[in-house]
Amino acid sequence: MSDLKKRIDNPNLSPFEKLVEVMRILRSAEGCAWDRAQTHKTLIPYLIEEAHEVIDSIEKEDYGELKGELGDLLCQVVFHAQLAAERGDFTADDAAQHIVDKLVHRHPHVFGERKDLNPQEVRDQWEKRKIETGERDSVLSGIPSSMPALMMAFRIGEKAGGVGFDWQAPLDVLAKVREELEELEHEILACDQQKTEEEIGDLLFAVASLARKLKVDPESALKRGLAKFRERFGRLEKRVLESGRPFRDFSLDDLESIWQEVK
């Protein structure tokens, strides 16, 4: 057994400590050229990919796969921490301690004076404490600019709602959706491209807010809707191929008729 392998097999190390040690070795002169070449920025695609693979395993409810995917994601976290440690910025333990402190701070109803709060009250408490303690200088700060727009719309509405700026009921938001549709129609008829784009943005934001009030994740709902469309369109394509005629020979009415059948 090599000396490097012995360092990893040290029975006194926890699995997390072993992972930190593996990453330290891979980044060393004795380690791997690929790992040594990486930076925080070059690792971004892998971090995103691993996060998506975690999501896929959750949506499939494959918890054996989830265990592995969470390990892969944890590897990315430790990789970034090792890069930071080499710069003297912080260590993996520092990052872990930071989240421990944050979780204790954000759960005063658990670690302080006990209170029986429902999930929405807990979330509202988080948003208020961030402002009151100076952790955030704005209710809407802390939302990554790289976040997918639909997810961002959901989170912005959630954060604003956490301090009381929100509709009372889903039907109130539905009225806003109808209002945005009317405004969009007006700009389409006016042939104003810039304002049409703005109104589409307003409409999508309103729809995301409606999903939030209905306790629906709009990102997941859209993915399911797209999957359903792809499956149905696949059946439509099969019908067209079986006819022996190209798509161009079918009118829109023909295709719509097939669509209704495959539904």
Segments of the chain with pLDDT less than 50? none
Work out whether the CA dihedral 219, 221, 222, 228 comes out positive or negative: positive
Q: What is the pLDDT of residue 125?
A: 79
**CATH classification at residue 34:** 1.10.287.1080
Does residue 200 form part of some domain? no
Decide if 250 contacts 240 (C-beta within 8 A).
yes
Q: What is the pLDDT of residue 116?
A: 87
| CB < 8 Å & 24+ apart, contacts of 219-223 | 219/148, 219/150, 219/151, 219/154, 220/59, 222/150
User: Exposed e or buried b for every residue in 3-31, given b needs 16+ CB within 10 A?
Assistant: eeeeeeeeeeeeeeeebbbbbbbbbeeee
Q: Can you give the residue range of the structural domain that contains 68?
A: 3-89
212 domain residue, yes or no:
no
Distance CA 126, CA 211 (A): 21
Residue at 83 is within a domain: yes
Of 89, 122, 141, which closes a domain? Answer: 89
Cα separation, 49 vs 6, whole angstroms: 31
Residue 144 falls within a domain, yes or no?
no
- Chain CA centroid to CA 148, Å: 7
Does residue 37 lie in a domain region? yes
Task: Indicate the residue among 37, 70, 89 that finishes a domain.
Answer: 89
233 token code pair: 């369109």
CA gap 113, 123 in Å, rounded: 17
Q: Which of 54, 89, 124 is the last residue of a domain?
A: 89
| Residue 147 in tokens | 């976040």
What is the dihedral angle through the alpha carbons of 97, 103, 107, 110, rounded to the nearest 10 degrees? -60
Residue 229: inside a domain? yes
Query: What pLDDT score was predicted for residue 164?
Result: 86
User: Is residue 94 in some structural domain?
Assistant: no
The structural domain count of the chain equals 2
Q: What is the pLDDT of residues 182-196, one digit of tens each?
A: 999 999 999 999 999
Residue 244 lies in a domain: yes
What is the spatial distance between Cα 66 and Cα 204, in angstroms, rounded to a whole number?
32
CA distances, 236 to each of 102, 120, 250 (Å): 52, 43, 12
What's the CA gap between 99 and 101, in Å, rounded?
Answer: 5
Res 1: pLDDT: 57
